[in-house]
Chain A
Amino acid sequence: MRFVFKTTYEQDIRLAKHAGHVFWYGLLLVLLVAAPLLLPEYLLAQLTFILIYGIVGLGLMLLAGFTGLFSIGHAAFFGVGAYAQAALTGLGWPFPLALAAGAALSAAVGVVVGLPALRVKGIYLGIATLSFGFIVQEVFARWESVTGGNVGKSVGAVRMFGWTADTARSFYLVCLVLAVLATLVCANLLRSPTGRAFVAIRDSEISAQSMGIHLARYKTLSFAISAALAGVGGALYAHQIRFLSPDQFDIVQSIDLLLMVVIGGLGSLHGAFLGATFLIGLPQAISGVKDYLPEAVGQAPGLKAVVYGGVLVAFVLFEPLGLYGRWVKVRTYLMLFPFYRRGMFRRQKAFQKSERLR
């Protein structure tokens, strides 16, 4: 184990807790910046998707992982961001302006969706967000003058101040910058009173309230920030995929997003990106190996669903803390190395308690 000798409060507050952090995150950033030179175009496109979904994941992580509010309608915010971007850039707005407007619009929608969250919890909130998702999707399909309805809508490349990011490489860099910014914003939130208020609400509403936390305001805020990040992700998605149609923002998308943060590891920012890597990477990995499988299995329809569901089940069964949890264990093992004791991470018997009373 690493012991950090603390001499000032600053040390508790800093994002990078020790020199190791600085080194590894620095290295990661250098690699990410260099990726356009190192990776073939196909992998770069995947990486771009990972960054985009990672941004959305950050938002959902904030909401579900830290505030404890589960949204089964996040595709709605994602879609609002995407369509806003499509519509506004279509009107000739520069990229940053359209992005900001889209994020703001998503946040506003988030506030509206957050309203039921003030009164209901748990499964009720889940269904409320799910319902909202359906309604928003219907709006996408019906508001033809803006969204192009079911016919769909094409989106151009990123354009700002005379510069156009029309290659995969330049667009990747745009996404990278935004992903880093989003991560920093979330990390900052979590080390400040706002983030702590979120966690407090997750653990005990009644005592959060008696500590002076305005439940309604912070829940709404959490929804708004989460939706705004989903909106930013949606805007980038719109540029990346270049064609929007309402069925891209359906319940399946919402569930995918939720699965992403669960598999990544609820309650950690790393989890958002790990989950995104998983969500984007798994289908590609399956199609990579399916040709080596026997015809009856490899070419069978439904294979992807089975693997996807199977992996999800395996995660819940064996690694409820998600990819990030697994990584923490590996890291601890390495750090403790010869002193690691078996059973240190053995799952204890756990006992469910009614969450209806919280």
Chain B
Amino acid sequence: MQFLQLFISGIAQGCIYGLIALGFVLIYKATETVSFAQGELMMLGAFFGLAAMGGLGFPFWLAVLSAIGAMALFGLVLEKVVIRPILGQPAFSIVMLTIGIGYVARGLVTMIPGIGTETRTLPVPYKDQAWNVGGLVLNVEQMVVIAATALLCALLYAVFRYSKVGLAMQAASQNQLAAYYMGIPVKRLNSLAWALAAGVAAIAGLLLAPITFVHANMGFIGLKAFPAAVVGGFGSLPGAIAGGLVIGVVESLSGFYLPEGFKDTAPYIVVLVMLVVLPNGLFGEKLRKKV
């Protein structure tokens, strides 16, 4: 029973990691860069949701939709203003850029008087509810995260696997030059990818808000989602979820059964072990250059 309850908690927490990791993988698949700003986008999404509910008095669902919309728009603008100009530079430049964007986003939010340094809650309708199923406590907030994560993952998977646009995104990330030669609108797709990523981040932010609260530093949880994405295999969407679950469960179990200190390092130990045993993660493709 104890074990089961811990396991379920782990799954739920893992879905949170998986949800954030989805954002990483999405950007990676579409642009082959790693966005260190994903956590901050999530934070902004949560603040948008807060503004919509608190400031504009929208009902919950409308607030969610408008926050996602606003963030997608924000992603578009962000891409246009700072990422577009260096499109085509080595991926590492863009990684650095996202770190910079993260700093600026966090700093700017902190600068808003009366809001920036505060911690707030998002009044979701399902707050603080729990189901009791045969002695197990299922947290509604977490169940919503699980459902949303599964849905989102399936959706994104379909886009990348079957749609022409999804394929073209991957093509552009693998060889931008060739993509241009084929008439693939690389820039537009890039905008689309960032808009999508910002939208996904907004969803993550809104779903996480009841659990982590809304504050300028809430994006730091993204650091735990990196191991999740790596364990799953960085380019794989189902891998992101699987990796998240592994990390979540390991964390939960090691917190209970292992000595103090292991709970926080367990995910990182798992990553290191994983990289030694399966360097490409659970679902990552084995890549080899042919010469």
Contacts and interface: CB of A to CB of B under 8 A. Distances in A.
Interface string B89-117: 11111101101111111111111010011
A119 B275 CA distance: 8
B276 A313 contact: no
A304 B107 contact: yes
Given A302-B216, A303-B107, A120 B275 contact: yes
Contacts of A115: 276
A352 B87 contact: yes
B111 A306 contact: yes
A119 B274 CA distance: 11
A141 B265 CA distance: 12
A131 B271 contact: yes
Interface stretch (A42-50, A132-140, A173-181): A132-140
Chain A contact surface mostly: helix
Chain B contact surface mostly: helix
Given A119-B279, A357-B287, A310 B100 contact: yes
B175 A354 contact: yes
A320 B279 contact: no
A355 interface: yes
Interface in B256-279: 261, 264-265, 267-269, 271-272, 275-276, 279
B106 A305 contact: yes
B159 interface: no
A309 B110 contact: no
Contacts of A306: 103-104, 107-108, 111
Given A353-B176, A354-B174, A255 B276 contact: no
B108 A312 contact: no
B193 to A, nearest CB: 13
A70 B226 CA distance: 15
Nearest to B276: A116
A345 interface: no
B69 interface: no
A128 B216 contact: no
A128 B271 contact: yes
A352 B106 contact: no
Contact of B104 (A142, A309, A354): A309
A352 B268 contact: no
Contacts of B279: 119-120, 124
A312 B107 CA distance: 13
A251 interface: yes
Interface string B214-239: 00100000010011011000110000
B164 interface: no
Interface residues of A, number: 52
Given A119-B275, A132-B272, A313-B82, A320 B89 contact: yes
Contact of B99 (A132, A312, A350, A352): A312
A120 B288 CA distance: 12
Nearest to A355: B91
B85 interface: yes
B177 interface: yes
Contacts of B34: 123, 126
Interface of B: 28, 32, 34, 82, 85-94, 96-97, 99-111, 113, 116-117, 173-177, 180, 216, 223, 226-227, 229-230, 234-235, 261, 264-265, 267-269, 271-272, 275-276, 279-280, 287-289, 291
Given A128-B272, A355-B90, 15 more contacts: A116-B275, A119-B276, A123-B234, A130-B226, A134-B264, A135-B265, A135-B268, A300-B113, A303-B111, A305-B110, A316-B96, A316-B100, A351-B88, A352-B89, A352-B173
Interface of A: 70, 115-116, 119-120, 123-124, 126-128, 130-132, 134-135, 138, 141-142, 206, 251, 255, 259, 262, 296-297, 300-313, 316-317, 320, 349-358
25 contacts: A124-B275, A128-B272, A130-B223, A131-B269, A131-B272, A134-B264, A138-B265, A302-B107, A302-B108, A302-B216, A305-B104, A308-B103, A312-B96, A316-B93, A316-B96, A316-B97, A317-B97, A320-B93, A351-B175, A351-B176, A352-B32, A353-B176, A355-B91, A356-B174, A357-B288
